[in-house]
């Protein structure tokens, strides 16, 4: 699935479906995964069906399945250091101009 034009709901459902495929490929049942991740069985079922869950739950499930490295490139910054960030900020900074003085009334 191309996520470029997908809605949040479509992306969630796709991630849930991918999670289910990965779980089955690892030979885990839903109850096994729930225990391993420390979440309820209904949470795992809902996650696979709709993709809806908290970020914390998604991380727990990914860690239980040893898939946490999939998060490594998520929101990866293009800038690697504070010095590099400062350079970019300085290069793109706009010089603010003072507002013109109001004419004095006599």
What is the pLDDT, as a whole number, of residue 97?
77
Q: What is the mean pLDDT of residues 64-74?
A: 89
Q: Is this structure's pTM higher than 0.75? A: no
Asked if residue 18 belongs to a domain, the reply is yes
DSSP structural state of residue 70: G
Say if 100 falls within a structural domain.
no
Is residue 5 helix, strand or coil?
helix
Is 106 inside a domain boundary? no
Is 79 a residue whose pLDDT tops 90?
A: no
The tens digit of pLDDT for each residue in 24-58 reads: 999 999 999 999 999 999 999 999 999 999 999 99
Q: What is the number of other CB atoms lying within 10 angstroms of the CB of residue 17?
A: 14
* Cβ neighbour number for residue 71 with a 10 Å cutoff: 14
CATH number at residue 39: 1.10.260.40
State the average pLDDT over residues 69-87.
80
pLDDT surpasses 70 at 69:
yes
Asked whether residue 27 is domain-assigned, the answer is yes
Domain-located, residue 102: no
Q: Which residues are within 8 A (CB) of 95 and not within 5 positions of it... i.e. 6 or more apart?
A: none
Taking the C-alpha atoms of residue 17 and residue 93, their distance in angstroms, rounded to an integer, is 44
Range(s) of the domain holding residue 28: 3-92
Domains contained in the chain, number: 1
């Amino acid at each position: 699935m191309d996520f470029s034009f997908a809605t949040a709901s479509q992306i969630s459902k796709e991630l849930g479906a991918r999670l289910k495929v990965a779980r089955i490929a690892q030979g885990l049942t839903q109850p096994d995964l729930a225990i391993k991740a420390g979440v309820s069985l209904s949470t795992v079922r809902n996650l696979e069906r709709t993709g809806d869950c908290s970020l914390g739950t998604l991380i727990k499930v990914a860690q239980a399945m040893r898939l946490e490295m999939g998060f490594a490139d998520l929101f990866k910054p293009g800038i690697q250091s504070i010095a590099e960030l400062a350079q970019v900020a300085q290069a793109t900074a706009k010089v603010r101009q003072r507002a013109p003085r109001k004419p004095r009334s006599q």
